[in-house]
Amino acid sequence: MRTRILELLRQHAGHYVSGEEISKQLAVSRTAVWKHIQALKNAGYDIEAHSRLGYSLRQAPDLLLPAEIAARLKTTVFGKEIRYFAEIGSTNNEAKRLAAEGCPEGLIVVAEAQNTGRGRLARGWFSPFGKGIWLSVVLRPSFHPLDAPKCTLMAAVALTKAIHKVTDAPCGIKWPNDILYEGKKLVGILTEMSAEMDAINYVVIGMGINVNIAPDEFPPELRDIATSVAAAAGRPVSRLALLAEVLAELETVYCLAVSQGFDPVLDEWRKLSITLGQQVNVLAPGETFTGIAVNIDNEGALLVDTGQGVRRVLAGDVSIRPPT
């Protein structure tokens, strides 16, 4: 009901809608309309009430509320079902729980804050209230489980394109899935899967996007390695606008992977990469080596020319060496 009231108020943006008109359209009493308006005000909506004119929506809260997300969606499936939390331990953990219970593909879990957010290699992720997009998406793909790790590269493509569209910030992808601006991380991606030998039950893609975190708001140990979309853009960025674009780009590239395979997705990754062509340090299991990152193969592995041959990197930390 509140979502429908908001839709009516948005349709008459800048003008008043009478309580009588709302009650007629929604087939509820004017008292019920008033109660819902009060609840929306308590949720942070700036709704002006006039005794003779009715109600006018002046401003929505800076929150990732389901009604606000739904009003901006450009997707067919992704984000049509939303689980919203003011604070949660981990959006990925909640998404995996819902996926195991049979939730539909495209369901998203979004939070204003996480208190046990995770990145790759079991690292923590700084997720302060109202400053970023802490998001997980449930997928139920038809492709083989061996292709599932490429979903991480797929998400990196979608996120980078979404940031470019919303801000024009010159960010790019560091292998395999970090999105950087001037050498500092904007986004982290964590992909988790449940599968049988020959079929995927579900894939959950978790994304942590530093949107409007000021440099001095990062913990001291992160200030040299993390930044925000706002810092890259030189201005505050609408989290709702960016989230809508992320979901749109992710749905587009996911449909491409399902219908045509991952080759077109990997081609997009190559175009957006800031790793290829650079000298890199590779910290792989049991060894460390350096070389020039020359490509990724069809499995998404990084190919590094060490001078003594091309090495294939499937796992490990890769850092870009500054020019000497």
Cα(211)–Cα(135) distance, integer angstroms: 12
User: Would you state the pLDDT for residue 44?
Assistant: 76
Binding residues for biotin: 90-92, 114, 118-120, 185
Instruction: Please list the pLDDT of the chain residue by residue as tens digits (324 residues).
Output: 777 888 888 888 888 999 889 998 888 998 999 998 988 888 778 889 988 889 998 888 778 999 899 989 999 999 999 999 999 999 999 999 999 999 999 999 999 999 875 544 445 568 899 999 999 999 999 999 999 999 999 999 999 999 999 998 999 999 988 999 999 999 999 999 999 988 999 999 999 999 999 999 999 999 999 999 999 999 999 999 999 999 999 999 999 999 999 999 999 999 999 999 999 999 988 889 999 999 999 999 999 999 999 999 988 788 887 654
| Residue 226 DSSP class | B
State how far the Cα of 303 lies from the Cα of 311, in Å rounded to an integer. Answer: 6
For the chain, how many residues are written?
324
Residue corresponding to tokens 């041959």: 309
- Give the closest residue to 127 by CA, choosing from 211, 205, 69: 211
| Binding positions | 90-92, 114, 118-120, 185
Per CATH, the number for 278-320 is 2.30.30.100
Look up the CATH superfamily of 66-272.
Answer: Bira Bifunctional Protein; Domain 2 (3.30.930.10)
The pLDDT assigned to 242 comes to: 97
Structural tokens at position 297: 């193969």
Q: Is the pTM of this model over 0.75?
A: yes
The amino acid present at 96, given as its one-letter code, is K
154: left (phi over 0), alpha (psi -120 to 50) or beta: alpha
Residues 6 or more apart whose CB falls under 8 angstroms from that of 69 comprise: 79, 82, 110, 240, 243, 244
- The H or E element that residue 197 is part of is none
Domain residue ranges of the chain, discontinuous segments joined by +: 1-59, 66-272, 278-320
pLDDT of residue 124: 59
Given this model, what pLDDT does residue 261 score? 95
Q: Which CATH class is domain 1-59?
A: mainly alpha
CB 179 within 8 A of CB 159: yes
Instruction: Please give the structure tokens belonging to residue 17.
Output: 């809608």
d(CA 38, CA 96): 35
Nearby residues of 161 by Cβ (< 8 Å), 6 or more positions away: 249, 253, 268, 272
145 prior amide bond cis, ω within 30: no
The DSSP secondary-structure symbol of 273 reads B
> Can you give the pLDDT at residue 123?
52
Q: Among 197, 106, 108, 101, which residue's Cα sits nearest to residue 148? A: 197
Distance separating alpha carbons of residues 262 and 267, to the nearest angstrom:
9
What gap in Å lies between CA 11 and CA 14, rounded to an integer?
Answer: 9
